[in-house]
Amino acid sequence: MTFSLSGAGEALNSIAHDLAGVDPRMAILALAFHVANHVLRSVAWRNVVAAAYPDDRVRLLPVAAAYASGVALNAVAPARGGDAAKVALARASLPGSSVPTLAATVSVLVVFDLVFATALLLVVASAGLVPVQLPSASAAASHWPIVVAATTGFAALAWLAVRAAHRKLRTLWERVRQGGAILRTPGRYLRHVALVQAGAWCCRIAVILCLLAGFGLPASIPVAGVVMVVAGASTLIPLAPGGAGAQQVMVAFALSQTASAAAVVSFSVGMQAGVTAVNALLGLAGAMAAFRTLRPLAAMRGALAAARA
């Protein structure tokens, strides 16, 4: 037991030493890129909402406040309750709006994120940078009977559900369709949403590059891509908020060929702690702006209530 405690203490001392030695210039630059990522994603969401409600004035500040509050709450709320808070706070700032429509606007952003993240995963996996084995065409073809049966069953159940609740679903569909209005103008979507989100993803990559350099690790786009893929995968393991613990293990394994395990764990701990702290501060500021109060505790209670609503 003494040996284990001693080893744990040495590991913590090593992490603390690495964190204290981070280049402050790179940390400040990473902070700037992280804030820029928030701003760009807020702009993209605001543009989607504005297309859904063309007759209303959709201001950026309330949307940005709702987005920041939701991101902060996602780190602690179960089942991504922060997304519910985003919608609730955005609805409060836009009279006459509906939850299904605003939820659909969030989904418009998610579609691009899924496409970009999948493409990044395929590039990183095909380059052999992470231990992911892509299914072969023959393996996929061998399971076609199961796929066909499952698809047919799902389609039959969906058809029965639609017939049972035709009127309600029609009204719901019209509101959801309204939320995706910008998709019916591809040029506008490309300019005002896709390109803005692509810029936000570039900022996320820049954050990782700056932190890698700040910790003295090899800073390259392939390495940053690996970190992004692994960090995203770690959040799927609900062992702790934000994938804490799982992320450190997975990043250390993925970057084992580029630096020592201790250095990689220090980087991962520092990155996750820094991002979480900045998100919390931005979320608190956003909640205070949304509820128009200078009392942080009142803003936090309001945001948590919106997430549970």
The pTM of this model reads: 0.79
Please tell me the distance from the alpha carbon of residue 192 to that of residue 179, in angstroms, as a whole number: 15
**Quick check: is 43 in a domain?**
yes
**Quick check: is 301 in a domain?**
yes
Please tell me the distance from the alpha carbon of residue 216 to that of residue 266, in angstroms, as a whole number: 11
**Quick check: is 143 in a domain?**
no
Q: What is the residue-level pLDDT of the chain in tens, covering all 309 positions?
A: 444 545 445 555 656 655 667 889 999 999 999 999 999 999 999 999 999 999 999 999 999 999 999 999 887 765 566 788 899 999 989 998 999 999 999 999 999 998 998 888 888 777 666 555 545 555 545 555 665 666 676 666 655 555 555 555 566 678 888 999 999 999 999 999 999 999 999 999 999 999 999 988 888 888 888 888 777 665 555 444 555 555 666 666 667 667 777 778 788 888 888 898 999 999 999 989 988 888 888 888 887 777 666
Residue-number span of the structural domain to which 106 is assigned: 30-133+148-308
**Quick check: is 11 in a domain?**
no
Q: What Å distances lie between residue 271 and 43, 179, 241, 305, CA to CA? A: 25, 34, 14, 29
Number of domains the chain is built from: 1
CB 46 within 8 A of CB 62: no
**Quick check: is 263 in a domain?**
yes
CB 299 within 8 A of CB 287: yes
